[in-house]
Amino acid sequence: MIESGRLLGNRYKMLEKVGEGGMARVYRGLDLKLNRPVAIKVLYEQFAADPEFLRRFQQEAKAAAKLSHPSIVNVFDEGEEDNIHYIVMEFIEGSTLKEIIQREGRLPQEEAAQIAYLVCDALDNAHKQNVIHRDIKPQNIIITPEGRVKVADFGISRAASGATITHGRSLLGSVYYSSPEQARGGNADQQSDVYSLGIVLYEMLTGTVPFSGESPISVALKHLQEEIMLPPEIASELSPGLKRILAKAVHKDLQHRFKSSAEFRDELEKWLREEKKHHRGPSLISRVQFNGLKRAYEERDDFEPEEEDEEREGRRFPTRKLIVVLVLLLVVSLGLITAYRILSDLLVVPEVIVPDLAGMNLAAAERELEEIGLGSRVAGEVYSNSIPPNHIVSQDPPAGRSVRKERVVELTISAGPQFVQIPDLFGRTEREARLLLNDLGLEVEVEHDFDDEVISGYIIRQDPGEGFRLTRGETVLIVVSEGKRPFTLRNFQGWSLNDVREWLNLYGLILRNVEEEFSSEFEQGQVISQSPPAGETIRPGDAVDLVISKGRDISTYPVYTVNVHPAVPVGKTIRIVVQDVEGEKVIFEGVYTGQVFTARGVGSGRVVLMEFRDNEYHAIDTKQFP
C-alpha cells in the first residue's frame, strides 16, 4: 500500500485509494505539472516481479497512449520508481456500467443499444491502431454524470492475459465475458472484443450474465459448450432486429460472428435509426443524476418521515376487546398444559445414547444399533479416498445424541475412491487442460519448456499419460511449451523497410507501427530507430515499431547561385541542366542569343551546359557547386 502524499516521477501526487482491480490498485492523484486530477494505477507486487509481464505491459501501455477517442479513457504516462510500476490515466467521475445494472436492473433496449454503439466506436478506433482490449466488461465501462460513455483499461489487458493463469486475480471477474477462443486459451483479436461486448449487451438487456457457476472454470466451460439463450419473458419484449444483432455478436463460430466492431456498430446504428419509438422512461443521464441527489438527501441527519404520528393514532385497539382475547388465550393454554402432562405419563419411551459409528463396517454398525434398540437405514453412498467401501462415513442423528428407542439412524456409507480417466492433453492450451482436469476433480502442476515444434502456450508432455486412472484430488503434471527460445533483437538502423519486413517475417515477429521523420544522418527509406531497441530479448509473435527516414529536410540545405556564360556561337541550340538534392531540372532549352544565365542549386550538385548537334545533346561544360 502506498501512503497518501507520495510523489511519483516528481510529478504525480498520490491523494487517496479509490479502488482495486484484477491487476492494480487505483488511486486518485494530481498532476502537479498541469494541475489536473488523474487516476494512477499501481501494479500489484506479483506483477511487478514478473519481467516478462513488465516487458509486455510497457510495450502495450505505449501503444494505448496513442489512442485518442471521446469514448476511451486516455493513458497519459507510465513509469517506474522504487519498484513501483504505474500508469497515469484520465480521471473519470461517474459510475461503472456494472454498478448501474446492479442498482437499476435491466436497461431499456434503445439505451442499451446506444451504449453498445459508443463502445463499438471506441473499439473500432483502437482496432484500427492494432490495439485489442481483451477484457471488455461492465466494470471497465464508465458512465459519467453527463451520460458520456468511457471505456477503460486499454493497453494493459494483453499483458494481463499472459499473467492471469499464473497469478489468478483477473480470471474471476473476466470469465463471465470471455470469448470461447479466450476460454480455450487461444489468441484474442477484434472478434473476441465483439463477443465480450455482446455479453455486456446481453447483461444490459436482461440484468444478468448468460452463464453462472460454482467456479470460473465451470463458467468458462459453458462459454465453450452451451448456447446463449434469452429468458423467454424478456425475449418476447425485445425487438426482433436487436435480438438478431445480439445473437450474431455472441455466436461461438467466428465465421458467423461480426467480423469487426465497425460492422457491429453499423448494425446497431441501422437498428437505432429504424426504431421509431422514443424513450419510454427517463434517460440514463437523468437517472444517474436523480439517484445521486436522492442518496445525498437520504443521508441527511434530519431526514425523517412526517406522517409517523398520524399512523400511530390509527393503530389503537379497543381496551375491552383486548381483555377478552387475553382471558381466552389463558384458558386455552392451561388446558393444553394439562393434556400434555397426562399424555406424557402414558406415552413415555426410554431414551438411549447414539453410538459413534464412523469408520465401522456397515454390518457391524447395524448390529450395534440393533443391540441398543435402534433401527438403521442406508441413506446413500459417497466417494471417499480415506474410508474403505461399505464403511460408515456419516450418521444422523450424530454420535452422543440422546434419542428414544426404536428411532431409525440414517447411515451414509463409502463407495470407495472415485477414479477418473486422464484425457490426452497434448496440443491443448494450458487453460483448456486446466478446465478439463479441474472438472474431473484433479489438481494441476505446470512446468514450462522451450520447444521448436509446438508454439507457445500449448502442452508438449503430461504425466501420467492418456488413459491412466487417478482418484479425485490427485495431481497431473503438464509441461507447456514456451515456443522457440527467446533471442536478441538486432539493430535495424540503416536497413530498408523491405529488408526489415523480410527479417521480421523470418523470425515470426510483427511489424506494427511505421512512422516517418526527416533525417540528415540516414537516407530516405532507411530505418532511424526501432522499438523494442536493439539488444532486447524478444520472442516470436512480439510486435516491433519502426521510424523510417524521409531524408534530409530540403529547407535545411543551403541555396547557391551559379552564372553561366555559354561558350558557343550565337544561334546554336543549347540546354542548361541543374542537378542537385532536389533532382534534375532544365532551366533553359532553345536557341542561344548571347545572354548570361543564372542557375539556382540546392545543397550540392552541378550545372551542365549541353549543345545540340548530330541530332542529340552533348555536354560541353560543367560547373560544380558549392
**Active-site amino acid positions:** 135
The burial of 349, by beta-carbon neighbours within 10 Å (0-12 exposed, 13-18 middle, 19 or more buried), is given as exposed
* Residue 26, φ and ψ in degrees, nearest 5: -110, 130
End-to-end, the C-alpha distance of the chain in Å comes to: 66
Distances (CA, A) of 72 to 58, 114, 477, 623: 19, 16, 42, 60
Residues forming a β-bridge with 445: 477
d(CA 528, CA 522): 7
Residues forming a β-bridge with 608: 577, 622
Q: Which amino acid is at 175?
A: V
Helix (H) or strand (E) holding 401: none
Is residue 403 within 8 A of residue 354, CB to CB? The reply is yes
DSSP-assigned letters across all residues of 499-542:
HHHHHHHHTT-EEEEEEEE--SSS-TTBEEEEESPTT-EE-TT-
Helix (H) or strand (E) holding 489: none
Report how far Cα 46 is from the mean position of its chain's Cα atoms.
18
3 state DSSP class of 249: helix
User: CA torsion angle for 47, 50, 54, 60 (degrees, to 10)?
Assistant: -70
Q: Which amino acid is at 309?
A: D
Closest to 137 measured CA to CA, from 176, 186, 184, 179: 176
Is residue 73 within 8 A of residue 90, CB to CB? The reply is yes
Helix (H) or strand (E) holding 181: helix 180-183
**CB atoms < 10 A from the CB of 506, how many?**
8
- List, in order, residues 6 or more apart from 79 with CB less than 8 Å away: 8, 9, 85, 86, 88
Could you tell me what percentage of the chain is helix, strand and coil, using 3-state DSSP and rounding each to the nearest 5?
Answer: 35, 30, 40
Q: Which residue in the block uniquely carries the three cell numbers 438487456?
A: 205
d(CA 390, CA 363): 9
- List, in order, residues 6 or more apart from 506 with CB less than 8 Å away: none
Is residue 587 within 8 A of residue 567, CB to CB? The reply is no
What the block records as the C-alpha cell of 437 is 482436469
d(CA 289, CA 295): 10
Distances (CA, A) of 259 to 189, 190, 266, 621: 10, 8, 12, 65
Radius of gyration of the chain (CA): 39
**CB atoms < 10 A from the CB of 193, how many?**
26
